[in-house]
Chain A
Amino acid sequence: MNLQRLTAVARKESLHLLRDWRSLTLALAIPLLLILLYGYALTLDLRNVPTVVWDQSRTPESRELLSLFHSSPYFTVQGYHENYAGLQQALDQGEAMIALVVPGDFSAKVHANKPVHIQILGDGSDANTSRLAMNYAANIGAIYSLAVTSEQMQQKGQGKLKQPIELIQRSWYNPGLRSQNVLIPGIIALVMIVVAALLTSTTIAKEWETGTMEQLISTPLRGPELIFGKVVPYFCIGMIDVAFAVIMGKWIFDVPIVGNTALLFGMSSLFLAGALFFGLTLSIKLKSQVLANQLAIIAGFLPTLLLSGFVFAIENMPMPLQFLTYIVPARYFIAILRGIYLKGIGLEILWLNALFLAIYAMIMIMVANRKFSFKLE
């Protein structure tokens, strides 16, 4: 491999990129957009679940219970209805996700200390939200019943009724359970796969499709020089994007990096190398930009989004799929990112993940070089 020829290719590719300002802008704008989206708009935290109520009881007791729902940050009471048809309509049209039905004998049963059932109807078509919301609603019910019982005991002169067990819940690494703290580190993986795999998937195929590959073949250039030279500018863009993500995460979204920032960049470059050569391999093998693009999305972007533990925890997936995630490099990278960002751990724990990333990058570099034949067919 000749370094001079390699730099010449890198320069040519950089010029292509610089001249095509639109692609360049997009390569930097897409990551920004992703970070802003995940930082501002997207959250899995459950707040303000739209709720409708049918209060059949209409007593001070039932209003007291409902006031707990009014004051809870999890629920927003949208309106009151007088029959199931009204509740059904609200759920059908998606105006509400939860419907509460307080039975007519609510107040009587509360005074008689008999069990009361409150009906909670959830829009199960959004299983995640409705399950969480139902849990919260059940907890509000428990708070109310403890308050009422305790009050009644006091009236009977039994003294204050104490709660037998109090559960103190603390979440480590992310005390407020902010979903930004979890999503922003994951974004780095997503941003890099978008920029790296998608951009490189077109490069070699483009030379074949437009016929400029023949001109390159006639020069003294060798295969590996072309491959490595092509990757250089995209590598730079990828690292700039990582820096964007880190800076925006820290200054705009207040996501602290507990661990070592240098390690973060080192690991990112490892993942980036794997992703770049993955895109390049597709481009080399398929010789068609459309096909290479599609495969980069299918085999690169979508698994990184969905099979990496970015949003959906791997532990909760069915077994066969959990095995499948072992071949998704983003799985290792996201574990590393969260480890560095939130847990502040280093290679002493993450070495296995780092090793897998390195192996993946090596394999991709080898495959790209082997598949590339610098000859006319």
Chain B
Amino acid sequence: MLQRLYHMLIKEFLQMLRDPRMRVVIFGIPVIQMTIMAFALTTDVTNIRLAVLDMDRTPASRELISAFTAGRYFRVTHSLFSQNEITPLLDRSEVQAVLQIPSGFAKDILTEETAGVQLLTDGTDSNSTAIVQGYAGYIINDFNDTMLTKRLARKGITLSPLQITTKSRAWYNSNQESHFYYVPSLIATMLFIFSLLLTSIGIVREKEIGTIEQVMVTPIRGIEFILGKTIPYMITGYISMSFMLCIAFFVFDVYVRGSLLLLYGLTGIYLAGNMGIALIISGSASTQQQALLTSFLVLMPSVMLSGFMFPVSNMPDPVRFATICNPMRWYLDILRGIVMKDVGVTALWPAIAAQTALTVTFLTIAIGRFKKTLS
């Protein structure tokens, strides 16, 4: 049995790596993609283009504007003179926000009335806008605090307004850099896409061009065929993951804080589960186009509902419940846990258990169905 498997593996590796373009697709592209995407996936919002319509034009209004430009968040790109200028600017996306200070602003401040100031934001990017609004609220709160203290001092009251400052600290990622968060997720995504597509299409290809019949007339048995088809992709999956971890370290300064051994072991379970899904797909597809589309039907929701870009806690309950059978969701928990939080089996056991159960289920279904197809 081992000898037959060995020959099968040699055939598979030769077939897979014979085409130099294929070598690039398997080893080069996931790594390059991961690097580019990690730079692209950033939610750090800085340098927000701000237009200012200052209808008051007093020292007080200028003070407020400089409070906005003091940090690294806002940068004034346009100074407006009339309200008519606002719409074209936002329509053309030349600015992301418009600060509107009404006339009488300084007077309100002087008479201690509440002065209203408006911030118009471009809602076509709701995520950035939420962050922009958060920053603006922060700046105004700060401004208010300073001003209240001054006012009370002027009245001879030493009582300073109570300040509840929040000392925020982000654990695991103290600079809150997006790279750090997305790099492990990208590794999981790339592994999923490539192992699923390459395996399922690889098997269906033999069916479509008819070479599977040649394999079937050899004394090779079902299980050997399955192992021969999947082991090469498991190995290439491990190799490209190692490449990606190197890039993560050298380019993004993201290193594995937890146990490398545990990470590799659990990655094996993840890859094996993906092989199971790929086998199920290839068992039912008869053309490569079908295999591709079916894989995609599985891929899309798995990636989207894994917590990669969209937090699982934001999803509606039925969907959140459904993510239980999404292997990528669990693998992301494991990957982030080991890479970023340095946690071990004690914290990760629910994810590990779920992952293992899914892998076993997929493989059982796959082997059962595949044997039937072969005979």
Contacts and interface: CB of A to CB of B under 8 A. Distances in A.
A210 B119 contact: no
A164 B172 contact: no
B181 to A, nearest CB: 5
A40 B317 CA distance: 11
A202 B292 contact: yes
Nearest to A171: B123
Interface string B171-214: 11111111011000000000001000110011001001100000
A162 B310 contact: no
A44 B130 CA distance: 10
A131 interface: yes
Nearest to B323: A41
Contacts of B43: 127-128, 131, 312, 316
A42 B315 contact: yes
B289 A113 contact: no
Contacts of A309: 125
Interface in B202-237: 202, 205, 208-209
B248 interface: no
Contacts, number: 388
Contact of A124 (B29, B116, B170, B292): B170
A139 B125 contact: no
Interface string A131-174: 11011111101101110110010001010011111111111111
B375 interface: no
A199 B291 CA distance: 11
B287 A23 contact: yes
Contacts of B113: 162
A139 B118 contact: no
B319 A46 contact: no
A20 B285 CA distance: 11
Interface string B107-150: 00100111111111111111111110111111011011101100
B2 interface: no
Interface in A256-297: 286, 288-291, 293-295, 297
B124 A168 contact: no
Contacts of A357: none
A167 B202 contact: no
B161 A113 contact: yes
B180 A41 contact: no
A164 B288 contact: no
Contacts of B294: 22, 26
A116 B163 CA distance: 6
Contacts of A29: 297
B3 interface: no
A304 interface: no
Nearest to A138: B166
A141 B166 CA distance: 7
Contacts of A179: 126-127
Contact of B310 (A43, A124, A170): A43
Contacts of A156: 157, 159
Of B122, B133, B138, B168, chain A has the most CB atoms within 10 Å of the CB of B168
A30 B297 contact: yes
| Chain B interface bracket (under 10, 10 to 19, 20 to 34, 35 or more) | 35 or more
B201 A289 contact: yes
A12 interface: no
A343 to B, nearest CB: 6
A79 to B, nearest CB: 15
A246 B296 CA distance: 22
A321 interface: yes
Contacts of A146: 144, 161
B171 A168 contact: no
Of A22, A121, A128, A307, chain B has the most CB atoms within 10 Å of the CB of A128
B124 A164 contact: no
Given A290-B198, A321-B39, A125 B33 contact: no
Contact of A318 (B39, B141, B198, B208): B39
Interface string A104-138: 00000110011111111111111111111011111
Contacts of B290: 20, 22-23, 26
Given A89-B347, A168-B118, A316-B42, A27 B162 contact: no
| Chain A interface bracket (under 10, 10 to 19, 20 to 34, 35 or more) | 35 or more
Contacts of B112: 162, 164
B170 to A, nearest CB: 3
B50 to A, nearest CB: 13
Nearest to A129: B311
A342 interface: yes
Contact of B40 (A116, A161, A209, A306): A306
B167 interface: yes
A198 B136 contact: no
Of A181, A182, A291, A316, chain B has the most CB atoms within 10 Å of the CB of A316
A317 B292 CA distance: 31
A60 interface: no
Contact of A45 (B125, B134, B314): B314
A156 B161 CA distance: 13
Contacts of B114: 162-166
A231 to B, nearest CB: 15
A26 B42 contact: no
B198 A164 contact: no
A214 interface: no
Contacts of B46: 316
Given A125-B341, A172-B123, 20 more contacts: A91-B341, A117-B165, A118-B167, A121-B169, A125-B336, A132-B134, A138-B138, A141-B164, A156-B159, A164-B143, A166-B114, A168-B118, A169-B133, A177-B130, A206-B288, A210-B209, A297-B193, A313-B45, A313-B125, A320-B39
Interface of A: 20, 22-23, 26-27, 29-30, 33-34, 37-38, 40-50, 65, 89, 91-94, 97, 109-110, 113-132, 134-139, 141-142, 144-146, 148-149, 152, 156, 158, 161-175, 177-179, 181-182, 194, 198-199, 202, 206, 209-210, 286, 288-291, 293-295, 297-298, 302, 306-307, 309, 311-313, 315-318, 320-321, 324, 335, 338-339, 342-343, 345, 349
14 contacts: A41-B310, A115-B163, A117-B164, A117-B165, A117-B166, A122-B176, A134-B170, A141-B166, A162-B112, A166-B114, A168-B116, A179-B127, A198-B296, A294-B198
Smallest CB-CB A-B distances: 8 pairs = A124-B170, A174-B123, A124-B173, A171-B123, A135-B134, A26-B293, A141-B164, A149-B161
